[in-house]
Every structure is written in structure tokens, then in C-alpha cells.
């Protein structure tokens, strides 16, 4: 292998590694801080609430959130969940979003995502309706993967084990990125949510609608 090939391979490795380290995630189960009676009530109602802390050198990057769905055959589809005119801009090195799952109708679940502003206020970014399933929970995605889309939350079962049970801790500790859950662990029919960072485009005269959401700077424009 010549020097040019070695250098190219090394640069590719550094790029992949850098991508995987851009965002670090921390998780807090908000219901754990509630009184015991309230925890038990929310558990009976199958309400879940996680706070996700995102840490990185964001430097005014725009964050887009996507939903990735894996079907029963292992095929993936992706869908952007925020409107184009909404500009979620990360200006701090620590940013926070909340995911709340609430039963919706007889057989559905509404996953709501909120952005936490600097003063503690909340802005709802999207509401996504899923088919509810007793085998699934909101699940931390502790392994980022190697691409520009960074998994931050999933709605999934755990690793199937004999007897019809599911091993959630084993999945969390496996070090497997969500894109590979089907291939490596046989998990089917799950979804996860990702954040993609890109350079923000400032408001222009061509924008009929423009909504900026960031710490200390939240406004909307309608021409």
C-alpha cells in the first residue's frame, strides 16, 4: 500500500471518528423525580418522559430531526419531522430536548418532542403518532453510529430472548447503533429519531415563513 493510499484511509478514519464524536448524549428519566404515587399512575397509563442532553461544539448549527423506521423485513425508511421554515439552531455547547410518549386513542401512541429554552421554557418541535405496542418503550440510543445523523431516542423492544421476553439492558449495553439492531439482534418494527447538524441559512426576503428556535432567541416571521 503506497503512502497516498495510507493517508487517504487515515483521513477517512479520522472523519468517521470525528462524526461519531460530534454529539454526546445524556439521558434523564423525568418521571423518576416525581412522587411515588404519580410514578405509579404514569406507569399504569404508559406515559414516559425522557430528557436528552446533547453536548458538542455546535457553534450556531441548525439541527434537523428525522424519524427512521425499520419494518418487519429489516427495510428502513426516513422522514423529516420538522417543517422547512423552522430553524432549530444550537448556539450553546449543551442543548436539551424532551421526549414524551402518551397513549393516543385505543391503539396509538403520541411521541412529542420539546426543545428546552435557556429560561426553562418549552417549544414543541413535533408530535409523531405511532402504533402502540406493550413490548416497546422509549429507549436510549447510547451508540451514535458513523454517519452525520445522530440517534437520540428510540421506540423499540429489547433483544428477543426465549420465552417471549425482551432484554432492554442488554440492548443498551451492546454498543450497537440503532441502524444495526435488526441485523445484529433480530429486533423488528422499531423507530428511532436522529439529529442532523448543518450550517444555518439566515432569514431572507424570499422566506414567507421563518421561525427561529434557539436559546435566548425565539421569533417568527410571516410576510
pLDDT tens digits along 62-95: 999 999 999 999 999 999 999 999 999 999 999 9
More confident residue, 222 or 178: 178
Query: Where residue 105 falls among pLDDT bands split at 50, 70, 90?
Result: confident
**Whether pLDDT at 126 is above 70:** yes
pLDDT of residue 147: 78
**8-state DSSP, 85:** T
pLDDT tens digits along 28-66: 999 888 889 988 888 888 899 999 999 999 999 999 999
pLDDT of residue 35: 87
pLDDT tens digits along 7-19: 333 233 333 333 4
Query: Where residue 118 falls among pLDDT bands split at 50, 70, 90?
Result: confident
Average pLDDT for 115-126: 88
pLDDT of residue 202: 84
Phi, psi of 201, deg, nearest 5:
-105, 125
Instruction: Kindly state the percentage of the chain with pLDDT values over 70.
Output: 89
**Whether pLDDT at 124 is above 50:** yes
For every residue of 107-174, DSSP letters joined together read TEEEEEEEEE-TTS-EEEEEEEEEE--TT-EEE------SSSEEEEEEEE--EEETTTEEEHHHHHTT
Average pLDDT for 125-132: 95
Instruction: Kindly state the percentage of the chain with pLDDT values over 90.
Output: 64
Query: Where residue 6 falls among pLDDT bands split at 50, 70, 90?
Result: very low
pLDDT tens digits along 131-156: 999 999 999 998 887 778 999 999 99
More confident residue, 95 or 20: 95
Residues 6 or more apart in contact with residue 19 via CB below 8 angstroms: 146, 147, 148
Average pLDDT for 186-196: 96
Name the CA radius of gyration of the chain, rounded. Answer: 19
Amino acid at each position: 500500500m503506497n503512502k497516498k493510499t495510507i493517508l487517504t484511509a487515515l483521513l477517512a478514519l479520522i472523519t468517521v471518528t470525528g462524526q461519531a464524536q460530534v454529539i454526546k448524549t445524556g439521558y434523564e428519566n423525568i418521571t423518576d423525580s416525581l412522587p411515588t404515587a404519580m410514578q405509579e399512575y404514569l406507569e399504569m397509563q404508559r406515559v414516559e418522559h425522557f430528557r436528552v442532553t446533547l453536548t458538542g461544539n455546535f457553534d450556531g448549527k441548525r439541527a434537523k430531526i428525522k424519524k427512521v423506521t425499520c419494518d418487519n423485513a429489516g427495510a428502513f425508511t426516513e422522514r423529516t419531522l420538522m417543517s422547512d421554515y423552522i430553524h432549530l439552531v444550537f448556539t450553546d455547547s449543551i442543548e436539551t430536548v424532551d421526549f414524551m410518549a402518551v397513549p393516543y386513542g385505543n391503539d396509538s401512541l403520541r411521541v412529542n418532542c420539546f426543545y428546552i429554552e435557556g429560561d426553562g421554557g418549552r417549544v414543541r418541535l413535533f408530535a409523531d403518532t405511532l402504533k402502540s405496542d406493550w413490548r416497546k418503550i422509549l429507549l436510549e440510543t447510547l451508540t451514535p453510529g458513523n454517519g452525520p445523523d445522530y440517534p437520540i431516542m428510540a421506540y423499540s423492544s429489547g433483544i428477543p430472548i426465549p420465552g417471549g421476553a425482551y432484554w432492554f439492558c442488554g440492548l443498551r449495553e451492546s454498543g450497537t447503533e440503532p441502524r444495526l439492531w435488526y441485523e445484529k439482534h433480530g429486533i423488528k418494527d422499531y423507530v428511532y429519531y436522529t439529529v442532523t447538524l448543518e450550517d444555518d441559512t439566515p432569514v431572507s426576503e424570499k422566506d414567507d415563513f421563518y421561525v427561529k428556535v434557539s436559546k435566548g432567541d425565539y421569533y417568527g416571521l410571516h410576510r
